[in-house]
Amino acid sequence: MAEGEEEVNYASGVFKAGNNPPPAAKRGEETVYVEVKVQNQTKNEDSAGHRRFQHLACCLGILCVILLGVIIGVCVYLQVLSKLNQELETKKNNLTQQIQNMETNRNELDINKKCQPCQKGWNLSEPSCYAFNDAPYPVWKTWEEAQEDCKGKNSDLAVAHDSEEKEAINTNSFGVYGFWIGLRVEDGKWKWVDGSDLTDSSWIAAPDPVDGLCAVLYRGKWVSVSCGKKQQWICQKKDLSV
C-alpha cells in the first residue's frame, strides 16, 4: 500500500429495533455492512518522526562542519600569529644591535670631532690606539677570552707587523705579570690574529712552535705559554684620524 493511502476495513453490524427480536426471516436482511475507514495514523506518525530525525541529523551535520571550519581557522591564525611574533622578535634584536653599533660609531665620531684620535682609556702610538688591560688577577683571561674582549671593543689583540709596532707595544706596556698579544701557533706556525705569519721568528723566545702555545709580552720580551693560561692583555685598533 502506498504511503499516505487510507486503509479501509470492513465490519458487520446488526441494528435491533425495540426490545423484540426481529423475525428470523428478516434478521438476515437487517444485517448491513458498515464501511469503516481507519486512517493509518500509526504509519503517518512513524513517517513524521523519521522526517524530524532526518532534519535534526542534517542540522547536526551542518553544525559539525561549521565547527570544524572554525577550529581549522583558529589553528591557522595561531600559527600565523606565532610566526609573526618570531619575525618581530628577530627584527627587534637586529634593530637593537644596529642601534648599539650606531651608538658606538657616533661616540667615535664625536671623539674625532674633538681631535682626539683615541677613546678614553686608550693610548696613542700612531697609527694605532692601544688599551693595556692590567686588571687584577681574578679577572685575567685566557688568550681566547682576551681576544673576545678586544672584539667587543671593536679591536683585536695587539699585532706587530714591523719593528715600529713592536716597539710601540714594548714601550707602552707596564707591569710584571705579562700581557697577551695577538700571536699564537696555528698549524705549526706562529700567526697573528689577523691571519698573517710572523715574519721574524727571533722576536719570540720559544722552542719549536707547537699548537696550543700563545705569545705573552713579559718584561720587554715575547715568550710562549699555554693559551689556556690566564694573563692580562693588550687590545689594538686604528686611531680615528686615519
pLDDT tens for the chain, residues 1 to 242: 444 444 444 444 444 445 555 554 444 444 444 444 444 556 666 677 788 888 888 898 898 999 999 999 999 999 898 888 888 888 888 788 778 767 776 766 655 555 678 888 898 888 899 998 888 888 999 999 999 999 999 999 999 999 889 988 887 666 678 999 999 999 999 999 999 999 888 888 777 789 999 999 988 889 999 999 999 999 999 887 65
Q: Residue with C-alpha cell 722576536? A: 203
Q: Residue with C-alpha cell 500500500? A: 1
- Give CA 130 to chain center in angstroms: 39
Give the start-to-end residue ranges of the domains of the chain: 7-42, 123-238
- State the CATH architecture for 123-238: Roll (3.10)
The DSSP annotation for 150-186 comes to HHTTT-EE---SSHHHHHHHHHH---SS-EEEEEEEE
